[in-house]
Copies of this chain bind each other. A is one copy, B any other.
Amino acid sequence: MKTIREVCEAFGLTPRTLRYYEELGLLTPVRTETNQRRYDKKELAKLKLIARGKRFNFTLSEIKEMILLFDVDRTGRAQLERTIEYGQEKMEEIDSMIEELKTIRRELSWLDRTFREKLEELKGGE
């Protein structure tokens, strides 16, 4: 059970940020008898998910949905079916993101080649 500052240092965040995530319902740390936050393994796992999501500039509300996905408390069948369906959507989104990134990558490669050729021309005419 880590304190807020320990978690902050581990993840490179500020206390304000952790409290904000809690305010949005992304984190649910327990409280000590004197009202201080304590973070268990599950909260730390959520923070890893948040970090990954942020690297792709997902919004916090999108990340919240994904956290609910990873939240294993859902046992009911309807819930489970909804979860699978939602995961399906997310996978399709990610697939198309990958495709588009590959396209950008190809375009950049092309630019790179033409620029290098141009540079060779300049060098040749020296």
Chain A contacts to B: CB under 8 angstroms? 52, 55-57, 69-70, 77, 80-81, 83-84, 87-88, 90-91, 94-95, 97-98, 100-102, 104-105, 108-109, 111-112, 115-116, 118-119, 122-123
Contact B118 A80 (CB under 8 A): yes
CB of A92, distance to nearest CB on chain B (Å):
10
27 of the cross-chain contacts (CB-CB < 8 Å) are A52-B100, A52-B104, A56-B57, A56-B101, A57-B57, A69-B111, A70-B111, A77-B119, A77-B123, A80-B122, A81-B119, A84-B112, A84-B116, A84-B119, A87-B108, A87-B111, A87-B112, A87-B115, A90-B108, A94-B104, A94-B105, A94-B108, A95-B105, A98-B98, A98-B101, A98-B102, A98-B105
